[in-house]
Amino acid sequence: MEAWMNELEQGIKKGFIDRSVPYSGAFEPQLLINNSEKKQDVLTTLIEELREAKRFMIAVAFITESGIQTL
């Protein structure tokens, strides 16, 4: 369990406190946006992540009612 907690802590440090922290693991936060040039969209990313997750928690700044219905 300690390894998991250390991994999470490193991801939080890099994502929210100091981007120079040398970490590139599963817990590095990402800003999800729709980007047609790169053919990336928020819904596809969420669905891919949810398919692999055993459990999840989502924190968002805002979401539309239609966005919730889609999930």
Taken in order 55, 57, 62, 65, is the CA torsion positive or negative?
positive
pTM of the complete model: 0.55
For the chain, the domains span 1-28, 31-71
Identify the pLDDT of residue 32: 84
pLDDT in tens, 16-56: 898 888 888 888 888 888 988 988 898 898 888 889 888 88
| Integer Cα distance of 53 and 35 in angstroms | 24
The pLDDT of residue 64 is 78
Beta bridge partners of 40: 35
